[in-house]
Structures are given as C-alpha cells and as structure tokens.
Amino acid sequence: MKDIKIGLAGFGTVGRGTWELLEKNKKKIERSSKIKISIVAIADPDKSKFESVDIPAACHVYSDAFQLLKDKSLDIVIELIGGETIAKEFVISAIRERKMVVTANKALLAKYGKQIFGEAERNGVAVFYEAAIAGGIPIVKVLKEGLLANEILWISGIINGTTNYILSEMEKRNLGFDEALNEAKLHGYAEQDPTLDIDGMDSAHKISLLASLAFGTSFDFGEIPVRGIRGIKERDVRFAKKFGYQIKLLAFAKLEKSLVEVSVEPTLIPVDLLMANVDGPMNAVSVEGNFVGHTLYYGQGAGSHPTASAVVADIIEACGTISTLNGMQQVKTNPEISDHPDYELMKKENVVSGHYMRLEVSDKSGVLSEITGILASQNVSVDRFFQEKSGDSNAEIILLTHMCAYGKIVEVVDMLINLENVKGKPVVFRVEEKA
C-alpha cells in the first residue's frame, strides 16, 4: 500500500473538515484507493483551533505555513489559508519544492492561475482544485474525465449558495432583498460582509476556472462582466413569476465559434426547468457537450463536509498521478496550459439573449407607444408585456424582449431615460430559455 504524507496549511472550517473526514473514513479510503494517507504536519497561526482535536504526537504543528515546506518527506501540500497574498507565495513555494498542491482557493486561481499552473508545469507537479468551485459537486472531474471526449458548448450554473438562498426566500416568502439577506446571515449562509457573494465575484472566480478547463485557455479575470443581485426587488421576482420565470444568479461559459462568453448575472429562466427549482443554499451546474447533450449536476456547494469531500478526492487523484522516474516525481501535463485553442472573450455588448425590462412611467396615454417606438428603432421586438399601477399617477411597464444583442438594450435604455415620462433608469435582466 502506497504511503502518502500530507501537509495541511490552514485549519479553519474546511481544514478541520478535511482532518475529520480522513480520520472518520480512513479505513474506507485505504480499502478503496489502496493508499495510506497521513497528515504529518499542520499549520495555522491560531493554535486555539487545535485544542479540541486529538492530534497524534507524530504530527507536527506549526504557526507558520512555510515551516511545512521544510519537511522533505511531504508528497502533497493542501492550501486552505485563503486570501491571495500569502496563499500565492505559499503555493508557488510548494510547487518549487516539487510538492503536489491541493487548494480550495478560487480567487487565487482565477486571478493567478496561468502563473501558478505554468510554474507547476515547469516543476513537474500539478495543482488540484475541485474544492474551489462547487463543494461537493465533482464538476472539475466531470470536465477533466467524464466529458473529456466532448467539445463543451455551454456551461451555466448556480454556484453560490448565499445568493441562491436569498433569491429562494424572496420568491417563496415574498421577502425584500434586505430581509432575505438578514435571514441568510441568521442561518449561517452569508458572511457578515457578504459582498463577494451578493455582488457576484465568488461566482465569477468559479466560472472563470470552469471556462478555462472547458475551453483550454485562460481569460483575463478583470474583463469578465459580473453583476450581482443587489438590484433585484421583490416585485421583480413577482413579475418574473407572472411571466412563468424564476430569477437565479447564473454563471455562464458559452462557446460561440471562436468566441467564449464568460459572465455572471441575474437571469430569468422558465419555472419548469430543473435549474429553476434548485432552492436554498444548494448549487447546480449544467453542462452541454456536442455528443453527450445536456447534463446536470446538483449538490451542496459549500460547508466543511462537502468541501472536505472534494479536498480528499483531489488528494486521492494527486496520489494517482505520482510515479517514480529516476527518483523524480513526474505527473501528467496540467490540462489548463496544454496545447489549447486560442479563444477570445466575447464582449458583453455582443451577447445575445432575451431581456426583462421594468420601467416606471407616468400613467398617461401615449407613453407605451413612445417606449415601443424606441424599441422598434433599435430593432428590438417585444415578446410579452403588462402594466401595473404604481401610486396615483405612475405605472410600471414590464416587458420581455425577443433575442437581441445586449448592446442594443444598452442603446434602448440610454434613449428611454431621456423621455420625460420615464421615471429613473429602467431595470434590465437577462432571459434564457435553457439553463
């Protein structure tokens, strides 16, 4: 039985979950994988985290993660430090020490993945990151192995449980955004500072990694259009439902000839789709391949146990890639930087979809014809609409457009806000018929 020695950097929620999983399921893991996995060194600056854990005397405990790297016996290093600065330095140092790296750090890889994977390639090791994307959903392995024979055409996903919980509560209980956010905090689904979640950045980190894996090229993270859920009102959820749609924060990675759309934004999808019925803090990822067709993956996207499950799965995969050749570790090529096609990132204004638009207007005759006239001038056709009273003298017009480029919608909005009878800036969300 192969004996693999692990160094664990970071003993927070996921680090502790990884420790517990390896302890509880040790026999099962060894029996199934034919690998003996031992954590022989742990590092965390907060020593109080170890007080309720029975750590064997043979396992070294450090306050400085870099101390781990002095142990030449380690085969694999797990980075669960979080953040970007220290974590980046640690991961690159581990790679240069020719250690396999397992990480759950999505922000690090989204921003510096090209550099990190390149360093891994030069040093004959690999970086594994299943836990960085969708917790207990093995979506990385799906793309690397299960669907490897397919050309990936479409990925969409609910890959942030916080935002999905908020939108689910807004829909089910008719809550406003702030109320639903407070509920999420109360139940532990949102941090006290939920900015990364509700502004869509967490989802953007994850979809950029999936896009890189699916299409074999890297994208400048700063160029990915991202929109969160702050602007969604309870009435938008209600109006969407009236049209037969549900609002979800979706991340997209879509191939259109030589262009790839990578984006995150609130999107209306039909209520009869499986994706529309993913409730609460759950995640789901939809993948379409040119031969397999549509596939869907569902599960818990966060939490100590689901994420630990992904971490340990990566450890086992890392073990399987290690072979010995003249005393040196050799691994398969990191797929992210292999001989891949050169796709360009699609500009947001060229993305084609349907659109939901809500306008507050003066409740008087001729206003609707003004609005439809502007839409017609930009060749934007209306699929459906209705009007609802808003106060004594105003009304809200809610409409769905047929498919058109987002750039056309921007032009329409710029023209509408100049109309005397339009009150404020129209609210616009994407509409997709599949997800």
pLDDT per residue as tens digits for the range 143-189 = 999 999 999 999 999 999 999 999 999 999 999 999 999 999 999 99
CATH of domain 2-135+304-337: 3.40.50.720
Task: Please answer whether residues 2 and 35 qualify as being in contact, where contact means their C-beta atoms are separated by less than 8 angstroms.
Answer: yes
- Say what the pLDDT of residue 219 is: 84
Mean pLDDT of 313-334: 66
Local confidence band at 331 (pLDDT 50, 70, 90 cut-offs): low
Percent of the chain with pLDDT over 70: 95
Is 425 noted as a catalytic residue in this protein? Answer: no
Q: Is the pLDDT of residue 323 over 80?
A: no
CATH of domain 351-431: 3.30.70.260
Task: Please answer whether residues 133 and 141 qualify as being in contact, where contact means their C-beta atoms are separated by less than 8 angstroms.
Answer: no
- Say what the pLDDT of residue 186 is: 95
Angle at 137 between CA 133 and CA 142, to 5 degrees: 90
Local confidence band at 325 (pLDDT 50, 70, 90 cut-offs): very low
Q: Is the pLDDT of residue 414 over 90?
A: yes
Task: Give the count of alpha carbons within 13 A of 73, CB side only.
Answer: 11
- Say what the pLDDT of residue 330 is: 52
CA-CA distance, 6 to 175, in Å (whole number)?
46
Integer-rounded Cα Rg, in Å, for the chain is: 24
Residue 300's contacts (CB-CB under 8 Å, 6 or more residues apart) are 135, 136, 137, 161, 281, 282, 283, 306
Please write the tens of the pLDDT for every residue from 384-408: 999 999 888 999 999 999 999 999 9
Point out the catalytic residue in the list 88, 106, 111, 206: 206
Q: Is the pLDDT of residue 122 over 80?
A: yes
Q: Enumerate the domain spans of the chain.
A: 2-135+304-337, 139-299, 351-431
CA-CA distance, 227 to 245, in Å (whole number)?
19
Please write the tens of the pLDDT for every residue from 208-264: 999 999 998 888 899 999 999 999 999 999 999 999 999 999 999 999 988 999 999
Give me the chain's average pLDDT, please: 92
- Say what the pLDDT of residue 184 is: 95
pTM, rounded to two decimals: 0.93
- Say what the pLDDT of residue 326 is: 41
User: Which 8-state DSSP code applies to residue 344?
Assistant: E
- Say what the pLDDT of residue 339 is: 47
Mean pLDDT of 78-105: 96
Angle at 209 between CA 191 and CA 267, to 5 degrees: 65
Local confidence band at 131 (pLDDT 50, 70, 90 cut-offs): very high
The helix/strand/coil state of 425 is strand
CA-CA distance, 77 to 384, in Å (whole number)?
55
CA distances in angstroms from 210 to 187, 286, 291, 349, listed in the order given: 29, 12, 19, 22
Mean pLDDT of 293-301: 95
Local confidence band at 342 (pLDDT 50, 70, 90 cut-offs): confident
Q: Is the pLDDT of residue 329 over 60?
A: no
Least confident of 66-70, 86-90, 218-222, 361-365: 218-222
Domain 139-299: top CATH class: alpha beta
